Amino acid sequence: MAPTDKARPTLCLTALTALLAAAIVPSASHAAPVFVAGGYAFTNFDFPGAGTNAAAGTNANGISNTGVATGVSIDNAGNFASFVREPNGTVTAVNIPTPGMAFGVNSAGNVVGTNGTNAVFVPNGGSAQTLTTPANAGSAFGINDHGNIVGQVGIGGTAGAGFFLTSQSGSGLISINAPLGSTSNVVNAQGVNNNGQIVGFYLGNDGQVHGFMANTSSAIGSTLTGTGIADPTITPVEPGATFVFSQVLGVNDSGLAVGYYGDSTTSQHGYFYDPKTGKYTFLDDPSEGFNPAGVEVTQITGINNLGEISGFYSDASGVFHGFVAVPVPEPGSLTLMGFGLAALGFTYRRRRRHAAR
């Protein structure tokens, strides 16, 4: 039986309440449990079969503009299993046999990574294909929606320069060198956005790694030189801790970058870096914990155009867990939205009463 006219305002208000709740709580695609910190709602997850010993667990290594995350799990025997995680929480294995690892994914669902020796490209639902260009490419770390790939060469087990490819076919190769002044040319290109902006880290003269940015538009022939990013000035989370190194791991089309820094206690903490202002914003997974050695870890590994992020953290037992996190509205925005929805309900009731008269 159809609802009566008296019931309809109640149903409308119920829908309005649900809409307001949806604005406050992340959608079902990022299902509970959800933990909010720093303006983000975190959903933590584990790949089935992930290990429960210290240093085992789940690492989310990147996220696409469609909200699909990719990464790798480590079981208690040290074996790796690569995966993709859909926004609805479904986790599927990626065909990269151990010791291979998945590092990046794009909106088409194509994954890049390594088979343990060479960089690989995995088409959506397919098998790993070894990249033959550049020669001795050890790992591919990032792929954008145009199919451009970035990574690092590895010669005889030694890390070398970074690289950019127009596609998995090996076309459009650009070699990425360390910023001017660095005596080392160890460059790890980690992420590339749809505008050709590249981020990563390089080995500095102090023996530590530091972040860099570059853009393919600045390439001279087939060579591109990175620009160093100023290290963050940290407020120690652990008493007395000092900054040691920084790794930039992902960038979206707005140029907002993410990564993490390491401190003198060997703890690691996530951050956002805005190149327009040169400012860092620090953010850790709210579920991270100090292990018995007093170490805690959060790495933010990827960011998409919606501001959604991926990464992983360690718990009090030293076990790793993956996460995806979505921005949540500012409290003031929620208040205004609540007033707006309440006004909409009031207007609806007035119209219903006017229609009844």
Which pLDDT does position 109 carry in this prediction? 98
CA torsion angle 240 241 244 248 (round to 10): -140
Q: Are 136 and 129 in contact (CB under 8 A)?
A: no
Q: Are 230 and 278 in contact (CB under 8 A)?
A: yes
Residue 249 structure tokens: 């791991």
Which pLDDT does position 11 carry in this prediction? 31
Distance CA 204, CA 260 (A): 17
User: What tens digit of pLDDT does each residue of 222-244 get?
Assistant: 999 999 999 999 999 999 999 99
Distance CA 142, CA 123 (A): 14
Give the contacts of 353 (CB within 8 A, at least 6 positions apart). none
User: What tens digit of pLDDT does each residue of 174-184 get?
Assistant: 999 999 999 99
Domain boundaries, the chain: 1-26+335-357, 33-327
Distance CA 22, CA 20 (A): 5
- Evaluated on CA atoms 142, 145, 220, 225, the torsion sign reads negative
Strands 158-165 and 57-63: unpaired
Which pLDDT does position 157 carry in this prediction? 74
Phi, psi at residue 350, to the nearest 5°? -60, -40
- Cα 54 to Cα 58, 101, 314, 318, 319: the distances in Å are 11, 19, 9, 4, 5
- Evaluated on CA atoms 22, 25, 29, 32, the torsion sign reads negative
Distance CA 147, CA 136 (A): 20
Phi, psi at residue 98, to the nearest 5°? -60, 140
Low-confidence residues in the chain, pLDDT < 70 = 1-32, 330-357
Which pLDDT does position 344 carry in this prediction? 40
CB atoms within 10 A of CB 271: 23
Phi, psi at residue 241, to the nearest 5°? -70, 145
Peptide bond into 329 cis (omega under 30): no
Which pLDDT does position 158 carry in this prediction? 80
DSSP letters for 46-96 = --TT---STT-EEEEEEE-TTS-EEEEEE-TTS-EEEEEE-TTS-EEE-B-
Which pLDDT does position 331 carry in this prediction? 63
List 324's β-bridge partners, or say none: 43, 310
Give the CATH number of domain 33-327: 2.120.10.30
Q: Are 152 and 143 in contact (CB under 8 A)?
A: no
Which pLDDT does position 236 carry in this prediction? 93
Which pLDDT does position 155 carry in this prediction? 76
Distance CA 51, CA 32 (A): 22
Phi, psi at residue 195, to the nearest 5°? -100, 5
